[in-house]
Amino acid sequence: MLYILLPIYNEQENLKHLIQTIFKECSLENVRIIAVNDGSDDSSMAILQEELRPSDVICTKLINMNVGAAFSDGIQVFLSIGNENDVLVLMETDLTSDVSFLKVLEKNIRAYDQDVVIASRYQSRGCYRNFPIFRKILSYSVNRLLSVIFPIENVFDYTIFFRAYSWKILVKMKEYFGAHGIIQSKGFSANAELLIKASYLNARIAEVPYVYDYGKKDGKSKILILHSVLEYFRLIVYLKMLSKKIRGKELREKTRDIAK
């Protein structure tokens, strides 16, 4: 089964078209949507109730708790109803995540036994399109910084939403970090946090080239630039401290094994 996690905050302009496109593109028997309505005050909830099937899942927050909390809730739902053969894809609801690319992400998880597959703007044949120049420079800088501080082999796109996770790696992350420890970030840096924590657990991670067309976006961006930059710096400090704890745990376990 393919599960699709949609974090939703005031997406009434896009939501109906997105859901209908998913159901046209995917086999209805093999796809389920997990929609996390993160405190929307527009018609998003009504659209979800109208367009989704009983087999899909709607989680509702009365106030906006930001995308990190939406991811966290959606992942917990996936782990509670899915199984080891299932795949979870995170995608944006502003139409910049190409629905036809869902099959590419799922196929790469299954065919090559990957834990995480990223739709990457930095692989050959991948790129930004119609992206504001300042945002493009900022995005590139953040991704470059994260790749230097937290290097992952053959990974360059740390921040994009659009990626697939195996059920097995998310279960492993839950067991290691706890149900509420998989994601600590509140905002858009949650994408990088998920990826880097998966790498700490030796996840098999791959990228596939993706053309990120910002021109498909309908509506204003919800990213607050300065707030997001500060959030990434807080994330770096947190993940460096977490890395030290993990290395310390591994060292203690090796010492006990030697003592035996």
pLDDT score recorded for residue 226: 79
Torsion of CA 213, 196, 4, 111, to 10 degrees: 90
User: What is the rounded average pLDDT of the residues 71-99?
Assistant: 96
Reported as a pLDDT band with limits 50, 70 and 90, residue 259 is low
Q: Residues 146-196: pLDDT tens digits?
A: 999 999 999 999 999 999 999 999 999 999 999 999 999 999 999 999 999
User: What is the rounded average pLDDT of the residues 200-221?
Assistant: 90
Q: Is 168 exposed, middle or buried (0-12, 13-18, 19+ CB in 10 A)?
A: middle
| Statement: residue 257 has pLDDT above 80 | no
Reported as a pLDDT band with limits 50, 70 and 90, residue 223 is low
Q: CA of 63: how far to CAs of 28, 58, 219, 224, in Å?
A: 31, 15, 20, 18
Q: How far apart are CA 56 and CA 189, in angstroms?
A: 27
Q: CA of 117: how far to CAs of 56, 160, 203, 205, in Å?
A: 23, 11, 10, 6
Q: Residues 20-61: pLDDT tens digits?
A: 999 999 988 999 999 999 999 999 999 999 999 999 999 999
